[in-house]
Structure 1
């Protein structure tokens, strides 16, 4: 039995949704990989730590993001000897 146009549209919309989910998953994984690489490196290199603190301080705008990043920022500030904790 042939599928109706509405069924075909629904199938295509489902496929698009699955692709969007796959894209978000890959993007999230990429962010995790970068964070897992950069954060430990920042605790080995004070210049990188300073750059990361500056980047986060200037880039984070949502209160929840700032709150979640604050412990990391405090640890980085301690590492570089910045008393803005």
Structure 2
């Protein structure tokens, strides 16, 4: 709640949210991502890669894509570092 209050007072131009797609996109997580994204002018979600030796479940990854598309959020499997620094890819 303190983070949301801080972001509301001082909204960032760009916000990157990193998510581990090995976990399911549950309602609570999606609600938090939605709230965070409303605090920023522009938001991107980074669906992180699995650690070495592990694989992502394709169905769970598809669930993430559908959920984030439903929220209207851009998402990718690579870190949006250039976008964060410069505002473009």
TM-score by length of 2: 0.33
TM-score by length of 1: 0.34
Task: Give the greater-gyration-radius structure (CA).
Answer: 1
Choose between structure 1 and 2: higher strand proportion.
2
Point out which structure has higher relative CO (alpha carbons under 8 A, 6+ apart): 2
